Chains A and B, each alone.
Chain A
Amino acid sequence: MSEKLPPGSDSSPSQDKQKHGTTRRTFLKSAGIVSASVAGAEMLTGVPRAEGQEQAGAVGPGKVALKLRVNGEVRTVNVEPRTTLAEALRDELHLTGTKVVCDRGSCSACTVMLDKTPVCSCMTLAVDVGDRNVTTIEGLAHGEDLHPIQAAFIEHDALQCGFCTSGMVISCASLLERNPKPSADDVRTAISGNICRCATYPRVLEAVVAASQGKGA
């Protein structure tokens, strides 16, 4: 599906296109609707939930105001419940470093961390993130100071076309968070879900081992 999504595009093709051919964006423009519901406005971090046995309150299917903790900041997005985290990041917050390729959890290009756990942002609904901390590729560097994994990827030339790289780097950074001295097999397992059609795996392995030994840059 990468041909539908050229590098630098700020729009995910995944579910924008509705079946009748209009995009969600053009529909909203033409209809002039951006209606965060009143109930939606309640859908903040740490979503309040009714106690006891009564039916819990429903939000949607229209837009809901959500607070997401992204890269250390609290950000507000207005999205429908069907919006994936990948779409919210790319289309609402313009954090287009996260790439959507298969949109089915099969390629891991869209990997982000929820707290320290790598997940597919294409198969996570934004409304389901709650108070977990989202870390995207944009959140790894501190200003000009690259994350050791990013520096090691450059040093070891661990990328070619770059489309899998955001997800690959997040998987590797997450591995080092949980396991600072991984074995080669640990690295292979950590990136086993990240498909790279340029086949940069050996260099990725070198980069992660180097970064874990403090030799990234």
Chain B
Amino acid sequence: MNRFDWVNANSVDQALASVTDESSFKAGGVDLLDLMKDGIASPSRLVNIRQISGLDQISEDDKGLRIGPLVTLTQIEEHPAVQKTYAALSEAASRIATPQIRNMATVGGNLVQRPRCWYFRSEDFHCRKKGGTHCFAQDGENDYHAIFDNRVCAIIHPSGIAVPLVAMNGRAEITAKKGKREVALEEFFTSPTHDVHRENILEPGELITAIVVPASEARTAYYKQGEKESFDWPIADVAVSLAMQGSRCSKASIVLGGAAPYPYRAKAAEAKLNNSEITEDSARAAADAAMANATPLEKNAYKIPIFEAIVRRTILRAAGMKAEGVAA
């Protein structure tokens, strides 16, 4: 790890005043230290925002949920209002990493962590995302890579919390010296075709200062498929939000993780459910539609049947139904 100097910021204003071009903000620090230990990031200064008071709170009112960027994944997992009303969010948080990491990692840091692609994470591969000219995953070891929008750079977005947050129409409040802006998380994450060197719209010197989730009576569910049960990065994960009128779905929101370089909104699947009864058949049609335009690489087409299964089951679970072939 490179040497750096260290600033403990007391307030957002102080953090913004302390950051330089060569600096990184540090919240939980988990992904940042990982990048620094691997030589992928080498900031000359860390501006520690972890101790800024007021940014580590979850508040709920009739307008929705406001989550401070320093809220840990454990706080999300254990918060009674989140468990009750925003179930997919709590479920997703509980499946990320290990208990130790969930105690350290923050919501803000989880959203802006860098991808896990092993070519990106290796100093030995000067890949396109790091300023090179080649995406080594295209004809390399691409088992865990994207099945959509994967021709420029085949990363999958690593944020587990983003998947339900996008499905719930979450928004990021972003603060810079010049003021605040609020952006839908769906627009916050960007495609490599927009700028391969980044995964989101955050500009240098900007800080996420809140995540806002609008109140909703939609029913939500989340599912993550990894290679092992205890802890792992997802092979495929999905968040489903269904606004229901009786047994009909008035508006569906289906977001896939592990599928694309950003949380992937499966609009074709949503269209199959909007203004429809939720049944085993409609859920299956939606799951098939979600995968219809997939462009898998040589070694990751196995993700397609996994997504078809977990999208179908998670739609049914969000609707309060039991999927065929799944133990209760």
Contact = CB atoms under 8 A, between A and B. Distances in A.
Partners in one complex: yes
Interface of A: 14-15, 47, 49-61, 64, 80-82, 84, 103-106, 108, 111, 117-120, 123-125, 127-128, 130, 171, 189-190, 192-194
Contacts of A108: 98, 100
A189 to B, nearest CB: 7
Interface stretch (B13-21, B125-133, B182-190): B13-21
A138 B104 CA distance: 22
Contact of A123 (B2, B6, B30): B30
A4 B6 CA distance: 30
Given A105-B30, A117-B103, 18 more contacts: A55-B14, A56-B9, A58-B18, A60-B4, A60-B6, A105-B34, A105-B100, A108-B98, A119-B100, A120-B100, A120-B104, A123-B101, A128-B29, A130-B51, A190-B99, A192-B99, A193-B100, A193-B231
A54 B98 CA distance: 37
A56 B14 contact: yes
Given A50-B14, A56-B18, A81-B4, A193 B9 contact: no
A5 B76 CA distance: 36
B2 A82 contact: yes
A197 to B, nearest CB: 13
Sorted from nearest, which 10 A-B pairs have the closest CB atoms?
A: A193-B98, A61-B3, A81-B6, A60-B5, A53-B13, A49-B10, A58-B5, A192-B230, A55-B17, A58-B7
21 contacts: A15-B1, A15-B37, A56-B7, A60-B5, A81-B4, A82-B2, A82-B3, A82-B4, A104-B34, A105-B30, A105-B98, A118-B103, A119-B100, A119-B103, A120-B100, A123-B30, A125-B33, A189-B99, A193-B97, A193-B99, A193-B100
Nearest to A104: B34
B101 A58 contact: no
B48 interface: yes
B109 to A, nearest CB: 12
A57 to B, nearest CB: 7
A84 to B, nearest CB: 8
Contact residue range for chain B?
A: 35 or more
Interface of B: 1-11, 13-14, 17-18, 26, 29-30, 33-34, 36-37, 44-46, 48, 50-51, 97-101, 103-104, 230-231
A192 B231 contact: yes
B98 A192 contact: yes
Contacts of B29: 123-125, 128
A193 B104 CA distance: 13
Nearest to B47: A56
Given A82-B2, A193-B97, A53 B17 contact: yes
A14 B99 CA distance: 22
B100 A81 contact: no
Contacts, number: 120
A97 B22 CA distance: 36
Contact of A52 (B14, B44, B51, B97): B14
Q: Is the interface of A mostly helix, strand, loop or mixed?
A: loop
B96 to A, nearest CB: 11
B8 A47 contact: yes
A125 B3 CA distance: 12
A118 B34 contact: no
A49 B14 CA distance: 10
- Most-contacted residue by chain A among B4, B29, B97, B99 (CB, 10 A): B99
Given A118-B100, A123-B29, A128-B48, A53 B11 contact: yes
Contacts of B8: 47, 49, 56
B256 to A, nearest CB: 25
Contacts of B97: 105, 193
Contact of B101 (A64, A105, A125): A105
A128 B10 contact: no
B144 to A, nearest CB: 16
B4 A50 contact: no
A119 B3 contact: no
Nearest to B28: A123
Contacts of B11: 52-53
Nearest to B36: A82
Contacts of A64: 6
B17 A80 contact: no
A62 to B, nearest CB: 8
Contact of A59 (B6, B18, B36): B6
Contacts of A194: 98
Contacts of A105: 30, 34, 97-98, 100-101, 104
A128 B28 CA distance: 10
A50 B18 CA distance: 11
**A55, A118, A192: residue with the most chain B Cβ atoms closer than 10 Å:** A55
